[in-house]
Amino acid sequence: MSKQTMNGKTFTYTPSQTLPTLPKKVPTQWDMKGHYYKSIDDPQIDKDVAATEKLLASFVKKYKNSNFTSDPKVLASALTAINQIDETPTVAKPLRFLSLLTALNSDDEAANKKLNLLGQRLQKASNTMLFFGVELAKVPKDKQKEFLNAPELADFKYDLQTRFESAKHILSESEEKIVRLLGDCSYGMWVEATEKMLGRKSINYKGETIPVNSAFDTLNSLPLKEQPEFWHILMKEVGTLDEVVENELVAVCTRMKISDELRGYKKPYSASVIDHEDDEKSVEALITAVSTTGFGLSKKFYKLKAKLHGVDKLAYAQRNAQLKDAPTIDFDQATEICRDVFYGVNPIYGAKFDEILTKGQIDVYPKQGKTGGAFCSSAIAQPTNVLLNQADTLRSLETYAHEMGHAIHTERSKEQPAHYQGYSITTAETASTLFEGLLFDAVLAQANESDKATLLHDKLARDISTIQRQIAFFNFELEMHTIVREQGGITRTELNQLMQKHLKSYCGPAVTVDEIDGNSYIYVAHFRYGFYVYTYSFGTLMSCVMADKFTTNNSYAEKIDMFLTAGGSNSVANIFKSIGLNTKKIETFEYGLEKMSNEIKELQKLTK
């Protein structure tokens, strides 16, 4: 049993099982020397890069002029050779080491410079492999059918299916090289410029200078009445970049338009859907369910939220305001709760959790220069790393479970061969939010009635940001791209008005959305990443369905493990189909929304 007291509160959690004993001292920083290199000057880094270049050159020499698409055995040999390259630990290790160093300290100029130099060097080497995909794209339909049915290629069937499906969108080898080399100039540098400019901006509030990037987190820690004023100052400062971002977003949209036309994609989001191994029917079912039933629920919640806060209407800045202070939870207690949940679903997950925890693969606490937020980072034949910024809050606990959900998904996917160890962002977001949701339910079950209302209220606000808000963003992004494609551009005034329209669509009449809120299009980075936002909503709703089935019958844990170990061995729709879920039906996503509906009803009862 563990307790944590703060603000006069005591939160008590009793594990549902006897947990294995951990070492007295658990590492709270990444063990970079143990897992990677001694330092940035370690001569082994350059040796490993050179070894990778040699591996790629050897593959090119053997297969580039070998007519490897003439026979299933030869193709199987080539695909196996690619796997062997990917499974070589030193291939991903150098860039991974440097990238993680920059996450720990963004001001580490030496690491940043070396990362750029070695990244360019390895990009050049990997470009020599482009011929492989281009040659596969040329395989005629009858030959494709032969390959898909060949016993020698049985282990690569889905891999080949996706390659053949995307083949019609692949350009020539020289064109692909040009697109890759110029991509950073026509897209990456625009996005990076905006991020840098936002990162350098700050606001003054009550005599304190606050960086813009951290001000968004500061907002929710303020009293309800102060939030609109703070938000206005923040968004006014963000708005000074409107002219730059107008040109940036037009450039991003125009580049996507040109790319889609060259590659033959029909809809603005087609490329993204294929990249995420989804299908348009599933994504459109999601959009329909959330834009109708989902938006109805978010409007209902905000109406209740306004009442609970004692106001007729909430300002948009107040949409995530806490109801009351929630119990605080330190890292030791958070670890105990997470372990209890992970072991409770499957002892394999608990044991893997402990391994990652005790081997220095989690960096826990915030520090100067460390990147904000949290992430799970992985690569084939490399350790899985989790970055946190522990703040002893319930939200930090949920983030911990979320990122460790990614980590367990990664580790279970290693049951697959190298070409299937990666997985779609959509299934990734399902795995992470599944464990996050199960953890919340475990905490809620042990909370007193007063805390239950606070916890449910705050969870609903966060879930709406993940589900409804992201689909409102998707709808904004789609309309923005449509306008640019049809009219040749879009002005900052139109972008602001469009943003207001889509924010209102999910907030409803209980939330005031005005011109200053329309500046949100400037700082939301997701709009630069081609309809990436839908994956958050998709994953969260599917995890709600899976959690409900597990809670109803714990034997569903077998289906959960089937899902986690599938990796990228099939399409997202087929992976869900294998565990009895049809993502092509609107009703499936509406089933996921039932949990939110029930939680709103429960909150109404608790606060009656």
pLDDT in tens, 524-567: 888 888 898 999 999 999 999 999 999 999 999 999 999 999 99
> What residues form DSSP beta bridges with 204?
209
Whole-number Å distance between alpha carbons of 278 and 474: 16
pLDDT of 378 above 90: yes
CA dist 519 → 229, 444, 466, 498 (Å): 15, 36, 19, 10
Contact 260, 348 (CB under 8 A): no
SS3 43: coil
What's the whole-number mean pLDDT along residues 336-353?
Answer: 98
Q: What is the pLDDT of residue 186?
A: 65
> What residues form DSSP beta bridges with 3?
12
What tokens were used for 212? 């813009």
Q: What is the DSSP letter of 12?
A: E
Task: Name the phi and psi angles at 511, rounded to 5.
Answer: -125, 130
Classify 460 in phi/psi space as left (phi over 0), alpha (psi -120 to 50) or beta. Answer: alpha
Whole-number Å distance between alpha carbons of 434 and 431: 5
Contact 128, 177 (CB under 8 A): no
Q: What is the pLDDT of residue 324?
A: 83
Please name the helix (run of DSSP H) or strand (run of DSSP E) that holds residue 375, with its range, or none.
strand 375-377
Q: How confident is the model at residue 493 (pLDDT cuts 50, 70, 90)?
A: very high
Contact 434, 405 (CB under 8 A): yes
Q: What is the pLDDT of residue 598?
A: 97
Helical pair 534-552 and 280-289, crossing angle rounded to 10 deg:
80
Q: Could you please report the per-residue DSSP string of 542-584?
A: HHHHHHHHHHH-GGGHHHHHHHHHTTTSS-HHHHHHHTT--TT
What tokens were used for 52? 């990778």
Q: Which of 23-32, 199-208, 308-317 has the lowest mean pLDDT?
A: 199-208
Q: What is the pLDDT of residue 204?
A: 94
Whole-number Å distance between alpha carbons of 15 and 548: 21
What is the C-alpha R_g of the chain?
25
Q: For the sheet containing 362-363, what is the strand order?
A: 362-363, 385-387, 375-377
Q: What is the DSSP letter of 187?
A: I
pLDDT in tens, 233-244: 999 999 999 999
Express as a percent the part of the chain with pLDDT over 70. Answer: 97
Q: Considering the entire predicted model, what is its pTM?
A: 0.90
Q: What is the overall mean pLDDT for the chain? A: 93
Return the sign of the alpha-carbon dihedral for residues 229, 234, 238, 240.
Answer: positive
Q: Where are the beta strands (DSSP E) in 264-345?
A: 314-315
> What residues form DSSP beta bridges with 386?
362, 376
Give the angle subtended at the CA of 146 by the CAs of 140 and 151, to the nearest 5°: 145
Whole-number Å distance between alpha carbons of 598 and 194: 41
Q: What is the pLDDT of residue 7?
A: 45
Kindly give the residue spans of alpha helices, DSSP state H, lying in 419-556: 425-445, 449-466, 468-487, 492-507, 520-523, 534-552
Q: What is the pLDDT of residue 8?
A: 40
What letter represents residue 210's amino acid? I
Q: What is the pLDDT of residue 10?
A: 65
pLDDT of 6 above 70: no
Q: Which of 123-127, 192-196, 476-480 has the lowest mean pLDDT?
A: 192-196
Whole-number Å distance between alpha carbons of 402 and 413: 17
Q: What is the pLDDT of residue 190?
A: 74
* Closest C-alpha to 339, from 20, 5, 571: 20
pLDDT in tens, 431-479: 999 999 999 999 999 998 888 999 999 999 999 999 999 999 999 999 9
Whole-number Å distance between alpha carbons of 411 and 353: 10
pLDDT in tens, 355-369: 999 999 999 999 988
Whole-number Å distance between alpha carbons of 176 and 182: 10
Cβ burial, residue 530 (10 Å; 0-12/13-18/19+):
buried
Whole-number Å distance between alpha carbons of 290 and 469: 10
> What residues form DSSP beta bridges with 202?
211
Q: Which of 62-76, 193-207, 273-287, 542-556 has the lowest mean pLDDT?
A: 193-207
The better pLDDT of the pair 368, 125 is held by 125
Contacts of 438-444 with C-beta under 8 Å, sequence gap 24+, read: 438/341, 438/344, 438/345, 438/401, 438/547, 438/550, 439/337, 439/338, 439/341, 439/397, 439/398, 439/401, 440/398, 441/547, 441/551, 442/16, 442/337, 442/340, 442/341, 442/344, 443/13, 443/337, 443/394, 443/397
Express as a percent the part of the chain with pLDDT over 90. Answer: 80
